[in-house]
């Protein structure tokens, strides 16, 4: 039995203190990971849940599936590549090169969530900080986020419980935990204060906080939050998908609030897909856009439309899905548009999308079976080691082989 270190690839926290016991190449026990992380790591050893390479539902060798994928993409006039948020940064780069070579489109889930925010973080128009710069923070605010569910070790590894200001004895505590949400979720139950908002009221709330004490006679919550922010010498607001659903991707009322208050307030996105920031940053370096790029047109103008919009408008004739399961989330009206389009899926696990694909390619699991780099939610680059190497091809190897065939 060998004990090895592992960096959990299951969410954008990328906890690097995980230890696994390995017997005969299989993980037998896991220390430190949460349930979400453990279940992904243990799943790598579950043969019934892993994909095998297939063409039209029949078993194929990896080379055959890769050849077939290249053939479909080459025969297509309007291919789109989608996903990549669970891939290593190296694979994301290879995917972008492939889309470029094909003159096709590329997009990820950020075009429905954190895309604009990722762009503003890259352009440094949002005040932010890395987790290693949070030592002096004395107020953590989760706005539209429920980390106990989405990023289970976030509080204990990165924020409230990890703070030097935290004490079991509340009178000695010099750090506060606040939640703003439309529901009294698990994180709200531990927070003091918790501000419960009406659905879609986040923008009004932020603008009321901007107005301070004097003009908020009727909005007690906004007055309280304004007072709380002013009493804190350093605040981090963790921005969740609930806030984006309510305010939209622009989040301008929140930015206006932070700007007007002129306090030490930083914003960190609670990215849900593990390496979404990696995709946004890698694509931005090459094209100046964080998502929705069409290499058939002028990429500097960024007039491309999202993956789902491309499907609805019937603008694509082949799809390469990389480490994503859009069939799981897709409304039926969009699914019906997909029936005539050949789909190639690269995913280590069986999903609704792999079941609907003409070609399936089975990669290793990055961070368990193959190594690579990723970008954590706070923008820090993290290396994923590979404690259980396998002879399956890694995500980047698969893309490079498809790229070679397309170029040949
Ligand atoms: S919090 Fe996220 S990265 Fe950390 S162990 Fe849990 S799932 Fe893995």
Q: What is the pLDDT of residue 301?
A: 63
Report yes or no: 228 and 176 within 8 Å, Cβ to Cβ: yes
Q: How many residues does the chain have?
A: 408
Exposed / middle / buried, residue 35 (Cβ in 10 Å: 0-12, 13-18, 19+): exposed
User: For residue 394, is it within any domain?
Assistant: yes
From the alpha carbon of 14, which atom of ligand 1 is closest? 3
- pLDDT for 218 equals 61
Q: Is 104 in the pocket of ligand 1 (CB under 6 A)?
A: no
How far, in Å, CA of 151 to CA of 28, rounded?
24
How are beta strands 176-181 and 139-143 bridged, if at all?
A: parallel
How many other C-beta atoms can be found within 10 angstroms of the C-beta atom of residue 189?
11
Q: Tell me: do 140 and 181 sit in the same domain.
A: yes
Query: Is residue 204 in a domain?
Result: yes
Instruction: For residue 11, give the ligand 1 atom closest to its CA.
Output: 2
The dihedral formed by the CA atoms of 309, 314, 319 and 325, expressed in degrees to the nearest 10: 50
33 Cβ inside 6 Å of ligand 1: yes
Cis peptide before 9 (omega within 30 of 0): no
pLDDT digits (tens, 9 = 90+) for 22-54: 998 889 999 999 999 999 999 999 999 999 999
19 lines ligand 1 (CB under 6 A): no
Q: What is the pLDDT of residue 215?
A: 61
Alpha-carbon distance of 328 to 349, in angstroms, equals 13
Task: Give the pLDDT band (50/70/90) at residue 100.
Answer: very high
Q: Are 235 and 265 in contact (CB under 8 A)?
A: yes
Q: How close is the Cα of 179 to the center of ligand 1, in Å?
A: 21
Q: How far is the CA of 159 from the centre of ligand 1 (A)?
A: 14
Give the whole-angstrom CA distance, residue 273 versus residue 48.
24
pLDDT digits (tens, 9 = 90+) for 258-312: 999 999 999 999 999 999 999 999 999 999 999 999 999 776 666 788 898 898 8
Structural domain includes residue 43: no
Quote the pLDDT of residue 253.
95
Helix-helix angle 89-102:62-74, to 10 degrees: 40
> In the predicted model, is pLDDT for residue 217 greater than 70?
no
**Looking at residues 109-128, what average pLDDT do you find?**
94
Q: Are residues 295 and 355 in the same domain?
A: yes
- CA 34 to centroid of ligand 1, rounded, Å: 6
Q: Is the CB of 34 under 6 A from ligand 1?
A: yes
Residue 152 near ligand 1, beta carbon < 6 Å: yes
Ligand 1 site-directed mutation target among 7, 11, 14, most atoms within 8 Å of CB: 11
Q: Give the integer Cα–Cα distance in Å for 54 and 252.
A: 46
Which atom of ligand 1 lies closest to the CA of 32? 5
Same domain? 251 vs 288 = no
pLDDT of residue 53: 98
4 alpha carbon – ligand 1 mean position (Å): 17
For the chain, percent of residues with pLDDT exceeding 90: 86
The CATH number given to whatever domain includes residue 294 is 3.40.50.740
Could you tell me if 182 and 133 lie in one domain? yes
Same-domain status, 103 and 121? no
User: In the predicted model, what is the mean pLDDT of the chain?
Assistant: 94
CB 202 within 8 A of CB 246: yes
Both 173 and 299 in one domain: the answer is no
Mutate to test the pocket of ligand 1, among 12, 16, 34 (most ligand atoms within 8 A of CB): 34
For β-strands 343-346 and 318-322, DSSP reports them as: parallel
Average pLDDT over residues 177-188: 98
Report the separation in Å between the CA atom of 306 and the middle of ligand 1, taken as the mean of its atom positions. 29
Percent of the chain scoring above 70 in pLDDT: 98
User: Is 229 a residue whose pLDDT tops 70?
Assistant: yes
What pLDDT score was predicted for residue 46? 95
Per residue in 363-387, is it b (16+ CB within 10 Å) or e — as a string?
bbbbbbbbbbbbbbbbbeebebebb
Query: Could you tell me the pTM of the whole model?
Result: 0.94
In Å, the largest CA–CA distance within the chain is: 70
pLDDT of 330 over the 80 cut: no
Q: What is the tally of structural domains in the chain?
A: 2
> Ligand 1 in contact with 271 (CB < 6 A)?
no
Mean pLDDT across 213-241: 88
Q: What is the CATH number of the domain that holds 138?
A: 3.40.228.10
Name the residue with higher pLDDT: 226 or 213: 226
Mean pLDDT of 334-359: 92
Domain boundary among 235, 254, 269: 269
Output the pLDDT for position 216. 57
Q: Are 197 and 337 in a shared domain? A: no
Centre of ligand 1 from the C-alpha of residue 299, in Å: 35
pLDDT tens digits, residue range 41-98?
A: 999 999 999 999 999 999 999 999 999 999 999 999 999 999 999 999 999 999 999 9
Taking the centre of ligand 1 as the mean of its atom positions, its distance from the CA of residue 151, in whole angstroms, is 6
**Which structural domain range is residue 232 located in?**
115-269
- State whether the beta carbon of 376 lies less than 6 angstroms from ligand 1: no
216-225, 254-263, 316-325, 393-402: lowest mean pLDDT where?
A: 216-225
Q: What mean pLDDT do residues 119-130 have?
A: 96
Do 187 and 239 touch, CB atoms closer than 8 A? no
Q: Which atom of ligand 1 is nearest to the CA of 154?
A: 1
Question: What separation in Å is there between the alpha carbon of 38 and the centre of ligand 1?
Answer: 8
In angstroms and rounded to an integer, the radius of gyration of the C-alpha atoms of the chain is 22
Same domain, 261 and 180: yes
End-to-end, the C-alpha distance of the chain in Å comes to: 45
- 308 shares its domain with 403: yes
């Amino acid at each position: 039995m060998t004990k090895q270190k592992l960096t959990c690839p299951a969410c954008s926290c990328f906890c690097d203190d995980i230890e696994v016991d390995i017997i005969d190449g299989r993980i037998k026990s896991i220390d430190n990971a949460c349930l979400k992380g453990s279940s992904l790591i243990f799943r790598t050893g579950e043969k019934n849940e892993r994909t095998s390479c297939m063409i039209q539902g029949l078993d194929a060798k990896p080379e055959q599936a890769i050849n077939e994928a290249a053939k479909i993409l080459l025969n297509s006039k309007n291919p789109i590549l989608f996903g990549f948020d669970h891939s290593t940064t190296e694979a994301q780069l290879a995917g972008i090169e492939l889309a470029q070579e094909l003159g096709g489109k590329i997009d990820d889930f950020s075009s429905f969530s954190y895309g604009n925010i990722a762009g503003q973080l890259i352009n440094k128009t949002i005040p932010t900080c890395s987790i290693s710069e949070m030592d002096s923070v004395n107020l953590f605010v989760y706005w539209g986020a429920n980390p106990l569910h989405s990023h289970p070790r976030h509080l204990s590894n990165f924020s409230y419980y990890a703070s030097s200001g935290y004490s079991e004895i509340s009178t000695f505590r010099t750090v506060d935990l606040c939640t703003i949400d439309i529901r009294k979720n698990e994180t709200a139950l531990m927070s003091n204060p918790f501000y419960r908002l009406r659905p879609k009221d986040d923008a009004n709330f932020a603008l009321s906080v901007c107005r301070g004490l004097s003009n908020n006679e009727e909005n007690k919550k906004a007055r309280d939050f304004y007072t709380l922010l002013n009493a804190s010498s350093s605040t981090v607001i963790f921005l969740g998908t609930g806030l984006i659903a309510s305010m939209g991707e622009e989040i301008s009322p929140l930015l206006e609030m932070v700007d007007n208050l002129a306090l030490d307030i930083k914003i960190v996105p609670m990215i849900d897909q593990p390496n979404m920031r990696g995709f946004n940053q890698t694509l931005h370096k090459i094209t100046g856009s964080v998502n929705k790029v069409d290499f058939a047109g002028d990429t500097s103008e960024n007039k491309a439309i999202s993956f789902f919009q491309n499907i609805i408008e019937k603008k694509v004739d082949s799809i390469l899905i990389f480490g994503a399961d859009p069939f799981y989330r897709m409304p039926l009206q969009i699914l019906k548009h997909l029936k005539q389009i050949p789909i190639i899926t690269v995913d280590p696990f069986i999903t609704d999308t792999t079941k609907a694909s003409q070609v399936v390619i089975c990669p290793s699991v990055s961070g368990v079976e193959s190594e690579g780099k990723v970008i954590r939610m706070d923008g820090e680059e993290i290396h994923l080691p590979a404690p259980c190497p396998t002879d399956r091809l890694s995500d980047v190897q698969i893309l490079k082989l498809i790229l070679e065939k397309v170029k040949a």
